[in-house]
């Protein structure tokens, strides 16, 4: 779905002399051979920098959230499946940016579906390693991964945020009155199921999908783009990765859950239903954003309808 959505901000592609200046804290006398914009991001810009006599680097420009760089650096020091963050800086021309190591690999969503499906168990184990980092309260991180803004979880959080996006915000007008009413009614009926989960808040990637996962030549996985990371329910990440096409591939959900549990992760029997329920928060958030193109709105409507049909009346 994401490939149809439009970027919200123009991509940044610095000329070689500017790239050399930005990577100077990492490679003081860098001679730049090429700067190549990387696909995938819808707001931030990522640029591969080829340097004479040095391994490639990536310049990552934080266009959506200027405060994201230090958080991503802190997470990269904690999680081995992240690219190395070598420098975080602020530039007068381009704003906040980071220099990271280059990771060879293919985006998961670019692989044939059968190859993607074969990696489901590995993906579950990777997610268990991420979720092994736990927190006492749910919330958004400050630069040092301390909770800077707390979040209300469980059923109360579900209903409250849906109403924030769809009643108080822009989302309801984009979703339509009838579908908005159906979604809020479903949330009222189902919210209690979230309160039966007694697991602690965990490190959640927040955008865990095939465009943010690289597959190496040996099947090793690297997880990119941690700007949305927060402490919350594990079902946020499961809801994201089980969107189409992954969620529709036979056996994939079971293989992800099997890998997750084999690596020490804990899931209730109704984890898929809880994941679909929590994922409604993401679609409501998309609908409430200041800019939402027609393709994104259509996909949000489709996914909300699918979710509502999956729940008993």
Residue 60 maps to which CATH number? 3.30.200.20
Could you give the CA distance from residue 249 to residue 134 in angstroms, rounded to a whole number? 30
> What is the Cα gyration radius of the chain?
20
Same domain, 80 and 223: no
Phi and psi at residue 31, to the nearest 5°: -110, 110
Instruction: Give the pLDDT score at 4.
Output: 78
Of 81, 102, 123, the residue that ends a domain is 102
Instruction: Give the pLDDT score at 264.
Output: 97
Could you give the CA distance from residue 244 to residue 77 in angstroms, rounded to a whole number? 31
Same domain, 153 and 260: yes
Q: For residue 234, give both structure tokens.
A: 């594990």
Domain that holds residue 281: 107-310
Instruction: Show pLDDT as tens, one digit a residue, over the chain (313 residues).
Output: 767 777 778 999 999 999 999 999 999 999 999 999 998 777 899 999 999 999 999 999 999 999 999 999 999 999 999 999 999 999 989 999 999 999 999 999 999 999 999 999 999 999 999 999 999 999 999 999 999 999 999 999 999 999 999 999 999 999 999 999 999 999 999 999 999 999 999 999 999 999 999 999 999 999 999 999 999 999 999 999 999 988 889 999 999 999 999 999 999 999 999 999 999 999 999 999 998 899 999 999 999 999 999 997 6
Please say whether the beta carbons of 224 and 17 come within 8 A: no
Which 8-state DSSP code applies to residue 200? P
Which 8-state DSSP code applies to residue 201? P
Same domain, 185 and 248: yes
Number of folded domains that form the chain:
2
> Whole-model pTM above 0.85?
yes
C-alpha distances out from residue 151 to 24, 207, 278, Å: 39, 17, 14
Residue carrying structure tokens 């996985």? 221
Which 8-state DSSP code applies to residue 110? G
Contacts (Cβ under 8 Å, ≥6 apart) of 126 = 81, 221, 223
> In CATH, what number is assigned to the domain containing residue 195?
3.90.1200.10
13-71 pLDDT, tens digit per residue, is: 999 999 999 999 999 999 999 999 998 777 899 999 999 999 999 999 999 999 999 99
């Amino acid at each position: 779905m994401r490939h149809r959505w439009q970027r919200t901000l123009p991509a940044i592609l610095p000329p070689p002399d500017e790239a050399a200046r930005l990577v100077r804290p990492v490679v003081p006398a860098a001679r730049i051979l090429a700067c190549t914009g990387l696909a995938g991001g819808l707001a931030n810009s990522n640029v591969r920098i080829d340097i004479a006599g040095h391994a490639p680097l990536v310049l990552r420009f934080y266009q959506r959230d200027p405060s994201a760089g230090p958080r991503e650096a802190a997470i990269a020091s904690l999680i081995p499946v992240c690219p190395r963050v070598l420098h975080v800086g602020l530039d007068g021309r381009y704003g906040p940016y980071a220099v990271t190591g280059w990771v060879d690999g293919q985006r998961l969503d670019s692989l044939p579906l059968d190859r993607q499906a074969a990696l489901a168990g590995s993906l579950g184990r990777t997610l268990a390693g991420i979720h092994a980092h736990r927190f006492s309260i749910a919330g958004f991180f400050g630069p040092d991964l301390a909770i800077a803004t707390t979040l209300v979880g469980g059923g109360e959080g579900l209903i409250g945020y849906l109403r924030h996006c769809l009643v108080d915000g822009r989302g309801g007008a984009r979703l339509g009155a009838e579908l908005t009413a159906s979604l809020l009614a479903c949330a009222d009926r189902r919210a209690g199921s979230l309160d039966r989960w007694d697991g602690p808040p965990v490190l959640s990637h927040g955008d865990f999908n095939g465009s943010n996962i690289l597959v190496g030549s040996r099947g090793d996985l690297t997880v990119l783009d941690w700007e949305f990371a927060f402490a919350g329910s594990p079902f946020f990440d499961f809801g994201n990765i089980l969107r189409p096409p992954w969620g529709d591939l036979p056996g994939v959900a079971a293989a992800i859950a099997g890998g997750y549990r084999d690596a020490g992760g804990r899931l209730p029997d109704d984890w898929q239903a809880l994941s679909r329920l929590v994922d409604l928060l993401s679609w409501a958030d998309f609908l409430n954003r200041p800019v939402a193109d027609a393709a994104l709105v259509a996909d949000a409507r489709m996914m909300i309808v699918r979710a509502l049909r999956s729940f008993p009346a």
